[in-house]
């Protein structure tokens, strides 16, 4: 799940989206909910597609933070982070208080609509189905470093195009 970064630092991979490719079809949400819940219901998905403005779609999933605020915020210690950075929820401990939801700056953790417990992307235990089924190939396993690099390249390209 991790990849070797510069200077031997291990980088956690998460599901990232290319907003230039994402059409907002929400197939990722359907695939996720079916994989995890056995039903096609976007409300039960661990990935969410959000439309920004009129043309940009982004997929929201857990970013596998180094020091996850959601884990620190849980008063019942129901959330833990495994060795790959994946957030695990102990449903026996979770009381659905929502503090983890409030703490997540990415909006990636939610309260299950029926169970009333926290739920979050677990990368399908290393085989993310949303990536496999995305018809536009807009989703990929990525790292914060790669996302930042792509943003710099995109910004540079746009600035260059303005001057040409």
Residue pair 96/111 in contact (Cβ under 8 Å)? The answer is: yes
pLDDT at 8: 42
Among residues 62, 102, 117, 108, which one has the least CA distance to residue 86? 62
Q: Is the pLDDT of residue 127 over 60?
A: yes
Take residue 113 and report the two structure tokens written for it: 């609509």
pTM of the model: 0.82
Residues 6+ apart with CB under 8 A from 150: none
Which among 110, 89, 101 is positioned nearest to 42, based on CA atoms? 110
Q: Strand 110-111 vs strand 118-119: parallel, antiparallel, or unpaired?
A: antiparallel
What is the topology classification, in CATH, of domain 14-163? Alpha-Beta Plaits (3.30.70)
On whether the CB atoms of residues 110 and 118 are closer than 8 A, the answer is yes
* Residue 2 confidence class, pLDDT cut points 50, 70, 90: very low
At residue 164, the pLDDT reads 66
* Beta strands in 44-116, from DSSP E residues, in sequence order: 48-52, 56-60, 79-81, 87-89, 110-111
Q: In this predicted structure, what is the pLDDT of residue 56?
A: 84
For residues 6-29, average pLDDT: 81
Measured CA to CA, the distance from residue 119 to residue 97 in angstroms comes to 12
Confidence category of residue 97, pLDDT binned at 50, 70, 90: very high
Structural domain boundaries of the chain?
A: 14-163
């Amino acid at each position: 799940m991790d990849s070797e970064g510069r200077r031997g630092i291990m980088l956690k991979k998460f599901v990232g989206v290319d907003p230039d490719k994402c059409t907002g079809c929400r197939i990722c949400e359907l695939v996720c909910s079916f994989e995890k819940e056995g039903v096609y219901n976007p409300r039960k998905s661990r990935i969410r597609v959000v439309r920004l403005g009129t043309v940009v779609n982004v997929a929201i999933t857990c970013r596998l933070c180094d020091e996850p605020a959601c884990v620190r915020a849980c008063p019942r210690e129901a959330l833990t982070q495994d060795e790959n950075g994946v957030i695990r929820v102990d449903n026996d401990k979770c009381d659905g208080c929502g503090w983890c939801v409030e703490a997540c700056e990415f909006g990636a953790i939610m309260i299950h609509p029926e169970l009333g417990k926290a739920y979050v992307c677990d990368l399908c235990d290393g085989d993310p189905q949303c990536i496999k089924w995305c018809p536009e190939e807009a989703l990929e396993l990525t790292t914060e470093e790669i996302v930042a690099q792509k943003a710099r390249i995109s910004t540079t390209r746009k600035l260059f195009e303005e001057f040409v």
